[in-house]
């Protein structure tokens, strides 16, 4: 039996400013640099392309059968609590052969909060 092919979608809010998405895209590129075989995409809730359905379609076209959506938010606000689960439920109905998982927003990971504190501490010296 073939193991499931896993993919990751970095999911962020979006902005009218085209430079805004650079850190999100950089995270995807860093993942690909660390894991060259990684299948990943970026997706945005609004104002920036691609949206979540388009990013998901891209990964499914590459034979992904498990997709984790990583919310690139500092906390669990309305978008992570309400909007994202609704979008993923719709995707699961569109792609019943794919197992979807929503990760905890990155800002709630203790490694990220420790890094943020470390960055802030540099300004105390």
Looking at residue 64, what is its pLDDT? 97
Specify if 108 maps to a domain: yes
Looking at residue 1, what is its pLDDT? 73
Specify if 1 maps to a domain: no
92: tokens are: 């699961």
Looking at residue 87, what is its pLDDT? 97
Which residue has 């919310």 as its token pair?
Answer: 71
Specify if 112 maps to a domain: yes
Looking at residue 3, what is its pLDDT? 79
Specify if 41 maps to a domain: yes
Give per-10-residue mean pLDDT for the chain (125 aa): 89 95 97 96 96 98 97 91 96 98 96 95 92
We report the CATH number of the domain holding residue 73 as 3.40.50.1400
- How many structural domains is the chain composed of? 1
* Containing structural domain, residue 36: 6-121
């Amino acid at each position: 039996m073939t193991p499931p092919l896993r993919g990751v979608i970095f999911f962020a809010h979006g902005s009218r400013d085209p430079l805004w998405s650079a850190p999100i895209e950089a995270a995807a590129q860093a993942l690909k640099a660390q894991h060259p075989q990684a299948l990943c995409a970026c997706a945005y809730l609004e104002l920036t392309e691609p949206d979540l359905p388009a990013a998901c379609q891209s990964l499914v076209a590459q034979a992904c059968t498990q997709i984790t959506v990583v919310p690139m938010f500092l906390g669990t606000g309305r978008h992570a609590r309400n909007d994202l689960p609704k979008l993923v439920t719709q995707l699961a109905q569109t792609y019943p052969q794919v197992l979807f998982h929503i990760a905890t927003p990155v800002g709630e990971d203790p490694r990220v909060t420790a890094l943020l504190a470390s960055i802030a501490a540099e300004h105390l010296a």
